[in-house]
Amino acid sequence: MKLLPFEKYTWVTAAHREYLKSLEDYVSQSKYLPKFHIYPPTGLMNDPNGLSYYNGEYHVFYQWFPFEPNHGMKHWGHTKSKDLVNWHDCGVAITPDQEYEQHGAYSGNAIEKDGLLYLFYTANYKTPNGKIPKQALAVMDKEGKVTKSPKNPIIDGAPEGYKGEIRDPYVFKKGEQYVMLLGAWAEDDTGRILVYKSDGDLESWQYSGTLDLDMDCGYMLECPAYMEVDGKDVLIVSPMGLSPQGDKYHNRFASLYLVGDLDLDSGKFIIEHQNEIDAGFDFYAPQTFRGKEGQPLMFGWFGCGEQPLHSDKDMWKHGLTMPRALSVAGNKLKSFVAPELLAQFKNSVSIENTAIAVNSSAFRLKTRVPNGSEETIISFGDSNDCWQLIVDTQSGKVAVDREGLDIKVDEEYGYRRQTAINTDENVEIDVFVDNSFVEVFINGGEKSFSLRVFNTKPEANTISATKTIPLDVSVYCG
């Protein structure tokens, strides 16, 4: 098809529908598409937004520039599912067609109230003198109709001492009060979380101050999220500007979890434990929500750096992680693939060997590396086109390495990521390969790696190890 150029700040109108349908057909021919990850029908996808279980269905909204695999005018795309496995595309949910959102509808979350789904988002508004932060609200009814609040922007401007970079509202109810957290960049170049409160109409908000975090917050905090998990308060933040510390923070931006105690009266979050959520190359801006039975779940953006990807030529870029179930044990947050998706991996083949062939582009590998063993390298692909998982129980490290792939990387951060692991017992490993999307989980989700790979022949994967280990492979049948 003939690909058309678009100005960066173009928003979708009825005149674009025929072209976007043709572009969607074009994208559908890409050989890099996943089977069980959410990806954009066209163009570029980034942050997950408005995650919710509402009216008997899961709803995932997301940042979306439909016209090209580049950052541009952000809309909210929308997809829904009854089971977290089979998704139905609902098109554009929020189009930035109003003056107060003239440069895009940015990230935010959702909360149900009185049978309606309230969608909070940042209205991107730029001037020659910088951004003016504006927070907005749209409401979706049970028929799927989305209506913007006539009071938008519901928060206009910034408190004293802050730059125009204030965004990503996350609203939740604690007690009888509604609370909004906003990521912010203070004038002293430190990241902060701003706190607003509402008595219940969700359109009138009062500034309450900042949330005190005794940690390095970089120069900007993005995408705050809060949830109680297994009786503990969990705060998610995505700081910009953290310097690498040991094995941590080796992407341009990081995403952290904090387990502790949230005290809104004093404006403090007492941290009992904190860590990077995912140690891979391609994970950022995660958001938490509750599922059908109230279980805590999370999606993350399957992207981070802006290096070119092989899928760019097919006119799509990035996606979302699998839905992850959350739990807290010993003050540490664990995230692992939601049970609904686990049930889709069948036709298991188990051998104790050094190699196994997998004639599928979507599968799960389960294996175990014995405690105290020498370094074990597990390769996915062939000698000319592979990525590797390296497990060293003697040093207590697990690493992923993409040097064997034809993939451009951020040269400042390189081809390898690693993380410390518990080696008191055998190291349990789960690898989920979904064509060009890979998620690796260590010890049931104590640690994880998200990474994009672009094998030449993804349907003919070979898994090989440098020592004999159990290789249990099951194929995705969804």
Q: Which residues are catalytic?
A: 47
State how far the Cα of 212 lies from the Cα of 188, in Å rounded to an integer: 15
- Residues 73/53, Cβ–Cβ less than 8 Å: no
- Residues 367/384, Cβ–Cβ less than 8 Å: no
State how far the Cα of 11 lies from the Cα of 123, in Å rounded to an integer: 14
Burial state string for 99-120 with b = 16 or more CB within 10 A and e = fewer than 16: eebebbbbbbbbbeeeebbbbb
Q: Which residues is 418 bridged to in the sheet?
A: 399
State how far the Cα of 208 lies from the Cα of 201, in Å rounded to an integer: 17
Among candidates 130, 7, 67, which has minimal Cα distance to 317? Answer: 67
- Residues 103/110, Cβ–Cβ less than 8 Å: no
Residues 70, 64, 193, 322: is their CA dihedral positive or negative? negative
- Residues 49/287, Cβ–Cβ less than 8 Å: yes
The arrangement of strands across the sheet holding 256-263 comes to 212-213, 268-276, 256-263, 232-240, 220-229
Burial state string for 364-387 with b = 16 or more CB within 10 A and e = fewer than 16: bbbbebeeebeebebbbbeeebbb
Residues 257, 259, 264, 268: is their CA dihedral positive or negative? negative
State how far the Cα of 8 lies from the Cα of 6, in Å rounded to an integer: 6
Q: Which residues contact 443 (CB under 8 A, 6 or more apart)?
A: 421, 422, 427, 428
State how far the Cα of 439 lies from the Cα of 360, in Å rounded to an integer: 16
Pairing of strands 362-369, 87-94: unpaired
Count CB-CB contacts under 10 A for residue 359.
Answer: 9
Residue 189: which region, alpha, beta or left (left: phi > 0; alpha: psi -120 to 50)?
left
State how far the Cα of 9 lies from the Cα of 66, in Å rounded to an integer: 11
471, two tokens: 């290789």
